[in-house]
Amino acid sequence: MMNGVMVPTDVGRVSGSGIVPYDNNRSPAVIQEIRTEARQLLDLFNGYLPAGESPRITLQDTPRGASFVGLLVDPSNPGVSIPVPAEFVVVITMPSGAMMMAGLNNSGNPSAVSTNGVLQVSRGGYIGISTTGMPQSTPGQLVVMSTPKVLGEFVTSPTGSFAGQAKVPTNLPTGGHSLVVKADWFAASFGFVVTLPVPVKLPATGANSHEHVRYAALFVLIGVAVLFARRRRITA
């Protein structure tokens, strides 16, 4: 709501017909469709970058389509970026800026986005976020709800941007929660649901398990403005 008026935000993702996650037999037409939509998604996000700020996320073609680079990093080696398949990325735009998001499950692989645009992240996994339109050079926090728990703290850039990732608690109960990104007058809250574990086999070390975290809603509060919509390393 802005000045008493409800203002919807827009959600963008790669979701064309015939695009199926983990499909190893995509036709040339589907591969091209993914690459085209991914470029449009990146252009959309970059359009909200402050004047003079260089893009920090890039796009590279892959045999199965395209991947975003610079949104997620290896938790054990932050200098190494983990490419994220384009169909696993969500971009949310709002009057003040834009937010790009993706997930990394606990086994170190990018998490999928469901057919209805829901981001999925395993319990013990990571959430990668790149945001523009925040207060400049301002301390901020990433907080998981409903019982508040600070996952990390950060300081926005001189241009009001933030890029980092935070770990989803391994003991987060199943059910509904919210993830809040806040700095001064800016706060963005993402509703999500933690589901039951799914076993994951790991080479040499046996088996592990993970749970999907489902993102369900976005609420953005800017000063006295409340925007409603459905629908990077942070210091701990």
pLDDT of 173: 79
156-166 pLDDT, tens digit each? 999 999 999 98
Strand partners, 65: 62
Q: pLDDT 10s digit of each residue in the chain, 236 long?
A: 333 334 467 888 998 878 888 888 999 999 999 999 999 999 999 999 988 888 999 999 999 999 999 999 999 999 999 999 999 998 988 888 898 988 888 888 898 887 777 778 888 888 899 999 999 999 999 998 877 889 899 999 999 999 999 888 888 877 767 778 889 888 877 766 666 666 656 544 333 333 333 333 343 443 333 333 333 444 45
pLDDT of 231: 36
pLDDT of 201: 61
β-strand pairing of 225-229 with 7-8 = parallel
Residues in the chain, overall count? 236
Scanning the structure block, which residue is given the tokens 């369900």? 216
175-202 pLDDT, tens digit each? 767 778 889 888 877 766 666 666 656 5
Can you give the pTM of this predicted structure?
Answer: 0.80
List of residues 6+ apart from 4 with CB closer than 8 A: none
Domain ranges of the chain: 7-229
Peptide bond into 146 cis (omega under 30): yes
Grouping H, G, I as helix, E, B as strand and the rest as coil, residue 45 is helix
pLDDT of 105: 87
Evaluate the CA torsion angle 86, 215, 166, 160 in order and state its sign.
positive
Locate the DSSP E strands across the chain. Answer: 7-8, 10-13, 58-62, 65-74, 77-85, 90-94, 97-104, 120-122, 126-131, 139-145, 149-155, 162-167, 175-183, 186-202, 206-222, 225-229
Task: Give the burial string for 39-62 (b: 16+ CB within 10 Å, else e).
Answer: eebbeebbebbeeeeeeebebeee
Q: What is the 3 state secondary structure string of 155-166?
A: ECCCCCCEEEEE
Percent of the chain's residues with pLDDT above 70: 76
116-144 pLDDT, tens digit each? 777 788 888 888 999 999 999 999 999 98
